[in-house]
Every structure is written in structure tokens, then in C-alpha cells.
A and B are shown apart, each in its own frame.
Chain A
Amino acid sequence: MNFFETQDRARRRTKWLVFYFICAVVAIVFAAYFGVIFGMTLAGDRLDLWEPGWFISIAGVTCLLVFGGSAYKSSQLRQGGRVVAKDLGGRLVLPHTRDPEERQLLNVVEEMAIASGTPVPQVYVMDEEMGINAFAAGTKPSNAVIGVTRGCLQLLSRSELQGVVAHEFSHIHNGDMRLNMRLIAVIFGLLILMLTGRIILHSILRSAFQTRVSSGNRRDRNGGDVRALVIVVVIAGVFFLVGGIGAIFARLIQAAVSRQREFLADASAVQFTREPAGLAGALKKIGGWNDGSSVRSPQALAVSHMFFAEGGLFKWGMATHPPLQVRIRALEPDWVGGFDSVALNKNQSLAGLYDESRQQILQRQRGEVGAAADEEGASGAVANLAPVQRLSGSVNAMVALSGLGQETRWSLEAGQRIHDGLDERLRSASQDRGGAQRLIFAMLLSRDRQQRQEQVEGLRKGMGSDFLRGGEDWQELLESLHSAEKIALLDLCMPTLRHMSQPEYGRFIQLMHWIIATDEKVDLFEFMLQHAVTRHLAGHFEPDRRKVAPWLRMDDLPVRMDDLPAAGNVLLTVMARMERTEESAARAFQAAVKGGHGFEGWSPELLPEDSFGPEEIHSALVEFETAAPMEKKTILQMCGFAAAEDGILTSREAELLRAVADAIGVSLPPFVGDVQLQEVGAEQA
């Protein structure tokens, strides 16, 4: 069968589809009419079987909804496949992407475009989807798009990806897409009918419920409208039922049409790639992968027939695709069956590692309450290691801090300067998903040689032995950086890290916690980094948690002090005691008190050295996170004054300032880099 024939066949099928659609609408109109008559009779109204007035109005409304919905959807779809891609949560892959996986995807798509002689379509990636699946959409080859899931990119080999993409290309090539797009519009029309019914029912029920709750009086007032209400309820109910049944039948048609096309697409895919092994391999991986080919997007239902494999949506004879086994057998007649389980980067489970880290965290929290204070004492020695930089005048820092929250030119320039000063290797690493993860880990690794070795081993176990390759010498590079630069690097990593898939993110977070836990010291930078990463990434990867109102989140209810002044004292004390003797700490504290407005009912008090630990610092931060913006600004300014009291802003002080700012949800311009800093590490020693 040549491809003109298949295209022709697809076109003829489209005509049949229109015919079916009209039949369906007629059937729906009658069903709706008789449904309403029946419902009204049940409700106690006396109606004849044939009421022309009723029939015309019901037919009118039904047709309007179904045709209107269909027409609306097809006008939307006329813009091409990207509408579908965006609905499914797809992100356009730009032609100059640097991500190796995306690069490969684009290359494979271009190859297949040459092989099939179609124009190169736009390519979308569904970042949220870890199932192995793909789709092609569009009304004609010139506006076609190809979408693949993140799971496809991360789990399939090159030749398997080629097989999947070739399969999608044959849908474009054979003219299946057009048919598919029509089907979407039809189903949408039917769903609109169902949705309208549901929305009306829902709002009526809710208002009825509210009326009953508030008072009985209002119900009496509504008494006259009961008949009208009954009519509306019956009509809405019938719409809901008829639309639903219609949609189910439409799905059956969809499934039947689609199932046939899939074999053909598999066959042409092999024609394009000239090797069945790739496509068969991809199908086998779907069978062996936990998520299979599932697509979670709620929009997936309407376009399930466009996918490479079953979206995991239908189980009851409504499958849009032939079973995997049958498809694989068609490609590899001597396949014995059975799927090998597929894992991301062939890792072992991280559960054990994670438990261990949790225990270590708990132990530390129990045993070392004064850890932070100890830290401050020990840090005198560390201070000589870290590059210390001198302020040309502490005034500069004040100026910088008073300009908090204002996007000024100098902060942009400072950012630019820091950015340009970064090692090219590090900068390019931060633009690559693996590289950004490696960078974060490298920043967290312990300074202690033996411990570092253990951590590196742990990472190898967690991420696969190839993971660290290329990043061995980063730690040395990083150690020489001022923390303002490290922070800049961290900021560069964030957008890249957002491109991780859900499992990757989970693993990354687990490993990060594990590294932090294996390090015996509560390093300030680690503290800050953890805060920043969880703040910026959790919002992206765990959106559900954010939707829940804070007071409903029982599991991680913050330990609140409910006492802003006390929290202020904790933070200022930490800042003032940082790398200072008792005497100068008092001076720094005083400077802070003088520098800010203070809080209502605040009695400034420099807390004793061992009266607080990480727990207290954390809850103080939580306290300020929910405070008013002016209070946030005040505490930051006061912290700044405390830090800059002696005219030296050390790397660690900068880190803490940034940690505080970040934790309480204020963006701090890189003032650390702006004030004229000079290396004075030697003088200090």
C-alpha cells in the first residue's frame, strides 16, 4: 500500500466521521428530548409524548452546544499542533538548545524528516511526564508538532527514540493527524454538553444546600420558582447523561479508528528507520518501566488516540492502541515475551541511604543542641581559610542595605561582574542538568579529606559511577571562590535544575540531604544552600504542597515562636557572634540596634552563646518569613549593620546574610560583590 492510498483512505475516513457525527447529534437531540419529557413526567408534570415547543428549544440548545463546542475547538486547532502540545504541558525545544538529550531529540527529528520527506516539525517536551510516550499533532504537515515525554528522553536509547519519533512521523506522513484533530473537536463538543449539564447541576445543588443551611425562610420565597427549577435540573441532568454517553461512544469510535492506524504507523516507522529493533526496544521498555506509557496531564484524555502508546487511561475495551505484546510480536516474530524492568540510570533504590541520613539528622538534632554556637567558636580557624574581604568603608554596606528591594543599576553591574568573573567551566556546567547537580554536590562536599571520599563514594552509588566524571576538580575551583560568587553560581544553577524530572528531583534532594547529614558540622553555607534549593525547587516540583493552606499542613508544621522580637534577638545574636569575641560581638549587636528601627515591644538582648541551636534559628527564620515586608527589611538591615560593624564582610557573613534574606523570602541584591572588596586573607592571619 503506498502512501497516497493510505492518505486517501484517511481522508475518506474523515468524511465518514462527519457522517457519524451528524448521526450522533440527531440521536443526541432525540435522546435529550425524550429524557427531558421523561424526567418532567417523573417530576409530576403532565406532558404529551410530543411537545413541539419543547422539542425545538431542546434541539436548539443541544445543537448550539455541540456544534458550537466543536466549531470552537476546531478553530482553536486550526492553529496547528502546538495548541495540543501546550495543552499537554509541552515546552518548545529551541533549535539551539544546549541540553544533550534535547539536542539528540532534535537531531533524531531532523533525520526522520529527511527519511520521510516531510517538513521538520516543531518539537515539544512534556517535562512533567515520566511515562514513555509521544504524540504528533497538527492539521497539516506544515503546522505539525511532535511531542515526547521527559521519560522518553531519559529512558530510551538513541535508536529507540528514533523508532518512537519515526512512528509519530508516519502519523504525519499518512495523514492520520487530520483525522485525529477532527476527532478531538467532536469529542470536545460532546464533552461541552456534559460539562454544561454538570456545571448547572453543581451550582443549583450548592445554592440549594446553602439555602437550607442559612434559613428556611428563603426557601419559601423561592417556592413559586420550583417548577422552573425542576425544569432546569431535569434538563441539566439529561445533558449530563446524554453528553456523557455520547462521549463514551465517541471514545469507542476513536479507539477503533486509532487501533488500526497504529499497526500501520509501526510498519512505516520500520520503513523509515530500516531497523525494527529500535521501535521494539522502546515498546519493551514501556512494558518494563514503572510508569509505562502513562501521561498524567488531565488534557491527555481528549487526545489519547494521538499518542505513541496507551496513555493508561482506558481499561475496558476502549484501548486506543493494540496491546504492547501484539505490537512487539509484529516487529519481532521470535520475541519470547516478558519485560525486563527499566530503571533510571540503572540505580539501586535510595531508600536505605535516605533512612540513614534521616537518622543522622535526628541524632545531630538530639545530641548537639548548641551546634551552631560551637560552629561559631570553631569558625575562627576557618576564617583564615576563607577569603576575607575588606570593605572600603562600612558605609558602603549601609548604603547598599538601605537600597534593599530597589532594582538599581549598580546591582545589575555587580551581578554582571560576578557572572563574568566565574570560571567558564563552572558556568557552562551550570547550564547542563547533570552539571548543575554536580555543582551543587561539589559545593556541599566536606572539606575533610576522608569524609569527602566517603561522600564521593555515596554519590557514585546514588547517581551511577559516570556521574561525577568531569567534576573531580570542581571542589578546588569552588573553594577559592568568594561566597558571593558561589551564590551567583547557585542562582545560575536554579533554572537549569528546574528542568529535572520528578524522579531526578527526588533523587537529587535525597542525596543533598544525605551529604549534608554525613557532614558532621552544620556549615552555614550548607544551611543556606539547602534553604535556597528547597525554597526555589520545592515550589516548582511540589506545587500540590503549596496549594494546601499552611494551617492544614500538619506534617511539617513550623515550630513557631509567635514572638517576633525574640526571633529578632536570635538572628541578630547569630550575626553579631559570627567570628567575633564576646566584646566585639556586643559592639556589633549595638551597631545593629542603633542601625534599625527595631520591632514593637522589642527589648534588644544579646543572647548567651549556647542558648540556641539550628532549631531556634530555623524557627526564627520561619517567624520572619510570615512577617510584614517592613519588618523583613528592618531585620535584614540590622543584620547587615551587625555584619559590617568592623568594616569587614567575610565570606561567611555574606552567606549568612544571604541565607537570612532568602529564607524570609526577600531577594537580596549582590551588594556583597559591589562594595569595594579586596583580598586581605593574609593580613587577617
Chain B
Amino acid sequence: MIESLFGNLAALGTNGVILIVLGAIVLLLIFWLIGGYNGLVRLRNRYRNAFAQIDVQLKRRHDLIPNLVETAKGYMKHESETLEAVIEARNTASSARKGLSPDDAGQMKGLMAAEAGLGSMLGKFFALSESYPDLKANQNMMQLSEELTSTENKVSFSRQAYNDAVTLYNTQTETIPTNIIAGMFSFRQAVLFEITNVEERERVDVSFG
């Protein structure tokens, strides 16, 4: 058995052996390519899916805000400017969210800016609402602010999962050797989702007139 194998190899000659080795290398390369490509796709899908989770929560947040403003309207009659600004920020964020793909860095930056704006407007709104005890005691308002708090928490927790997934993906696209595959099939870098809420610190200062 073994002898006959060696016999066959000998019969192939040097060229034949080189051919076989080359063929094997090419095959290995192809397998590696397929594996690497699939790995990248898997990671990309993972972060896209993680983004979908954020998206659900963002949509919910945007849906809650009009109700919140509607409830507050009856109590905060002198704050109509703030209320309008909240609605405006909400609309900006909502339209930034619509049709957004997490792969598009520009769109993502826009969404982050809009969300940061909305967050700061909401912060201002809640700070103002502190001085309306009747509004705070309103059943509807309590429910809504609980839901908003919860949604915000959910956004931040799913943001963490998304950022983890993005980091993993980005590392893969940057490191050797997978960066070669990423370059070949144009896997772009994904954007981390970071909302820096500038107004959050202010919220504490404003409380109670």
C-alpha cells in the first residue's frame, strides 16, 4: 500500500509534486478566505442585530414623547417654548432614525447628535417639571416618566451590547490577516454608538426654584 503510493509519487515527477503542493496551498487559501469572510459576515450581522435592538427602544422612546408633552401641556402652560423644543428635538431624532443603516457612518453621527440633543431637551423638561408638583403627581405622567426611564436604560444597556459587537467586528477588520479579507470585500469599519449628554450635569443644578 505505502510502497505503491511512493511509487505513484515517483511516477509523477518533481513537477507533479509541486503542482499538488500548489493546489493544496490554493485550496487552503480558498478555505481560509471563505472562513474569514463568513466570520466577518457573522460579526457584522451580530452588530447589525444589536443595533436593531437599540432601534426598537429608540422608536419606543420617540413614540412616548408626544404623549408626555400632551400630558404636561395642561400643567406647564408657561413653558410652551420648552415643550415645543422637546417636540422639535424629538422630530429631528425620529427622522434621523428612520431608514438608518448602522453601516453608514454619516447617518450614525447624525443620529447620535440628534439623540444627544433630545436627551438634553428632555433633561431640561424634567428639571422644569420639578416645580410642578401637580404634574408630577399625575398618574399618566408618572407612568410615562417610568416608561421613559426604562426605555432610556434599555437603550443604554443595548448600546453596550452593540458597542461590544462593533468593537469585536472592528478589531477583526483591522488585524492581520483578516484585514486583507475585509479590504478585498470592502467591509467597512462600524461606528460606536456613543451619546454624550452634555446637559445631564445641569439637570441637578436646576432642580426646585
Contacts and interface: CB of A to CB of B under 8 A. Distances in A.
Q: Please indicate whether A and B come from the same complex rather than being unrelated chains.
A: yes
Interface of A: 100, 103-104, 107-108, 110-111, 114-115, 117, 158, 162, 272, 428, 432, 435, 466, 469-470
Contacts, number: 42
Nearest to A108: B150
B133 A469 contact: yes
Interface string B136-162: 011100110011011001100110110
A272 B154 CA distance: 12
Contact of B150 (A110, A432, A466, A469): A110
Contacts of B157: 111, 114-115, 272
B134 interface: yes
A114 B146 contact: no
Given A114-B158, A117-B161, A103 B146 contact: yes
A466 B53 CA distance: 38
Nearest to B152: A111
Nearest to B155: A114
Nearest to A114: B157
Contacts of B150: 104, 107-108, 110-111
A211 B138 CA distance: 70
Nearest to A117: B161
A111 B146 CA distance: 12
Contacts of A114: 53, 154, 157-158, 161
A273 B147 CA distance: 18
Closest 9 A-B residue pairs measured CB to CB? A107-B150, A469-B137, A115-B157, A114-B157, A111-B153, A114-B158, A111-B154, A114-B154, A104-B146
B148 to A, nearest CB: 10
7 contacts: A100-B139, A100-B143, A111-B153, A111-B154, A114-B154, A428-B139, A469-B137
Nearest to B164: A117
Nearest to B160: A115
Given A107-B153, A114-B161, A272-B157, 16 more contacts: A100-B139, A100-B142, A100-B143, A103-B147, A107-B146, A107-B149, A110-B150, A111-B153, A111-B154, A111-B157, A114-B154, A158-B149, A162-B153, A435-B139, A466-B137, A470-B137
B51 to A, nearest CB: 13
A107 B147 contact: yes
A442 B42 CA distance: 62
Interface of B: 53, 133-134, 137-139, 142-143, 146-147, 149-150, 153-154, 157-158, 160-161
Contacts of A470: 137-139
A104 B157 CA distance: 17
Contacts of B133: 469
Nearest to B54: A114
A272 to B, nearest CB: 8
Nearest to A162: B153
Q: Which of B134, B154, B157 has most A Cβ within 10 Å? A: B157
Contacts of A466: 137
A117 B157 CA distance: 10
Nearest to A471: B137
A428 B150 CA distance: 23
A553 B172 CA distance: 77
Contacts of A432: 139
A103 B53 CA distance: 21
Nearest to A469: B137
Contacts of B138: 470
Contacts of B146: 100, 103-104, 107
Nearest to A104: B146
A162 B150 CA distance: 11
Contacts of A158: 149
Contacts of B161: 114, 117
A371 B101 CA distance: 78
A41 to B, nearest CB: 67
A110 B157 CA distance: 10
Contacts of A108: 150
B55 to A, nearest CB: 13
Contact of A103 (B134, B137, B143, B153): B143
Contacts of B139: 100, 428, 432, 435, 470
A96 B153 CA distance: 20
Contact of A110 (B137, B143, B149, B154): B154
Contacts of A103: 143, 146-147
Nearest to A111: B153
Nearest to B57: A114
Contacts of B137: 466, 469-470
A469 B146 CA distance: 18
B134 A469 contact: yes
A307 B138 CA distance: 35
Nearest to A107: B150
Nearest to A115: B157
Nearest to B147: A107
A115 B134 CA distance: 34
Nearest to A467: B137
A428 B157 CA distance: 33
Contacts of B149: 107, 158
Nearest to B146: A104
B149 to A, nearest CB: 7
A114 B160 CA distance: 10
B26 to A, nearest CB: 37
A290 B157 CA distance: 34
A369 to B, nearest CB: 44
A199 B138 CA distance: 57
A223 to B, nearest CB: 75
A104 B153 CA distance: 12
A368 B134 CA distance: 42
A506 to B, nearest CB: 25
A537 B142 CA distance: 28
A435 B140 CA distance: 13
Contacts of A107: 146-147, 149-150, 153
A100 B149 CA distance: 13
Nearest to A472: B134
A110 B134 CA distance: 29
Contacts of B153: 107, 111, 162
A361 B168 CA distance: 73
B33 to A, nearest CB: 29
Nearest to A103: B146
